[in-house]
Every structure is written in C-alpha cells, then in structure tokens.
C-alpha cells in the first residue's frame, strides 16, 4: 500500500494536465480532454489483458516494474513537447498504474487474514483516496516552487526512488509469487 500511495503521491501529473495542455502542448480544451482520457484508456486496456492473463508469477517483481514504469512515463511526459507522444506516455502510465492496482488488490485479498480483511481494506481505501488528493496538492505546491516541468520530473524521480527504497527494504515483497499461494 505504501509503495502505491507514494507512487501516486509523487507521480500524479494528472492534476497538472490543464497547465500542460495550455502552456506546454498548446492543445486547448479538446486536447486536454484527450490527455485526461489517455491514462484511463490505458487502464481499461490493461484490465482486459490482466483479466485474460493475471500477474500471478513473479508478482513482486512485476509490481516493482509496473511502478517503475509509471514513474518513468511521468518523467518522459514532463519532458515531452509533442502532443501524440504525451498522449502515448499518459496511456502507458495508465497501463502501468492498473497493473499495480490489480496486484495490490489481489495481494490484499489473498494474503490478509480473514479477521483483518475489513480493517486492511479500510486503511487501503483511506491511503488511496487521500493520496490522490494530497498528490494533487503536492503537485501544485511543487509546480509553484520549482516550475511546472521540473516539479513533474521531480515527482517521477521520487516515484523511482520510492520503488528502489521499497525493493531494498521489503525483500519478501520483491520475491512475492502469487502462483505459490494458490
């Protein structure tokens, strides 16, 4: 939960999309609509793929790779000046984000003891709900202090740093394989 929460907290460029649309990509309201839809389109496609082939093998590695991919796409999005490339990167960010959401939800259901499942689900709900809102606030403050593009690059770098620290601190998560829990 912490890995995902901090990834969303620092890597959330979505709240800055109106500024990117207007000042960086110069695409106006219609372009903003496409930018906002791109991560969701990626998430929908990935959810269909994961329904067909769930990430049960090397789950921990897949989780770390997905959150790393999310952070990398956010960095590249911040640096992009091309509307089609920006759309593609946001689409990929949705793909990667959906992988981590599915893994987190699956692990929560399979690993949490029955008597703790409700409490863990409520903490998870608070983490996810608040990390999006706090992430938007953080993005705005960081953009004000650092500038738009540097703040989004900083967020992506922080996401990658969180992945590295979590991978080092949680070797069991890194080695997690849901296939063995069946």
CATH number at 173 reads: 1.20.1250.20
What local confidence, expressed as pLDDT, does residue 107 receive?
84
User: What pTM was computed for the model?
Assistant: 0.90
Q: How far is CA 114 from CA 2, 23, 32, 59, in A?
A: 21, 50, 44, 21
Q: Is 26 exposed, middle or buried (0-12, 13-18, 19+ CB in 10 A)?
A: exposed
**pLDDT tens column, 68-98:** 999 999 999 999 999 999 999 999 999 999 9
The alpha carbons of the chain give a radius of gyration, in whole angstroms, of 17
Distance CA 23, CA 29 (A): 12
What local confidence, expressed as pLDDT, does residue 173 receive?
85
User: What share of the chain has pLDDT > 70, as a percent?
Assistant: 98
Task: For residue 181, give the nearest of 118, 103, 127 by alpha carbon.
Answer: 103
Distance CA 117, CA 148 (A): 40
Distance CA 6, CA 128 (A): 10
Distance CA 7, CA 158 (A): 8
Mean pLDDT over the full length of the chain: 89
Can you tell me the mean pLDDT for 12-29? Answer: 91
What local confidence, expressed as pLDDT, does residue 54 receive?
81
**Domain tally, the chain:** 1
Q: Is 8 exposed, middle or buried (0-12, 13-18, 19+ CB in 10 A)?
A: buried
Q: What is the DSSP letter of 180?
A: G
What local confidence, expressed as pLDDT, does residue 20 receive?
95
Q: Is the pLDDT score of 42 beyond 80?
A: yes
Per-residue confidence band for 140, with pLDDT thresholds at 50, 70 and 90: confident
> Which residue has tokens 């900083």?
154
Per-residue confidence band for 146, with pLDDT thresholds at 50, 70 and 90: very high
What local confidence, expressed as pLDDT, does residue 182 receive?
56
Residues 174, 60: contact at Cβ < 8 Å?
yes
What local confidence, expressed as pLDDT, does residue 181 receive?
63
Per-residue confidence band for 40, with pLDDT thresholds at 50, 70 and 90: very high
What angle (nearest 5°) sits at the alpha carbon of residue 82, between those of residues 79 and 87?
90
Domain residues for 102?
Answer: 2-181
Q: Is the pLDDT score of 154 beyond 70?
A: yes
Can you tell me the mean pLDDT for 6-24? Answer: 84
Largest CA distance in the chain: 53
**pLDDT tens column, 48-67:** 999 998 877 888 899 999 99
Q: Is the pLDDT score of 2 beyond 80?
A: no
């Amino acid at each position: 939960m912490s890995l995902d929460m901090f990834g969303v907290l620092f890597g959330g460029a979505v709240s800055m999309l109106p500024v990117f649309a207007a000042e960086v990509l110069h695409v106006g309201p219609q372009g903003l609509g496409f930018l906002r839809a791109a991560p969701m389109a990626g998430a929908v496609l990935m959810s269909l793929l994961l329904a067909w082939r769930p990430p049960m093998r090397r789950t921990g590695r897949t989780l770390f790779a997905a959150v790393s991919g999310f952070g990398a796409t956010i960095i590249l999005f911040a640096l992009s000046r091309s509307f089609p490339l920006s759309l593609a990167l946001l689409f990929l960010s949705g793909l990667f984000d959906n992988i981590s959401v599915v893994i987190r939800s699956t692990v929560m259901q399979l690993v949490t003891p029955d008597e703790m499942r409700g409490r863990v689900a409520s903490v998870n709900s608070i983490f996810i709900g608040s990390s999006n809102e706090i992430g938007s606030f953080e993005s705005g403050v960081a953009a004000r202090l650092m500038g738009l593009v540097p703040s989004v690059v900083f967020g992506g770098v922080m996401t990658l740093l969180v992945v590295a620290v979590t991978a080092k601190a949680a070797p069991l998560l890194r080695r997690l394989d849901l296939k063995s829990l069946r």
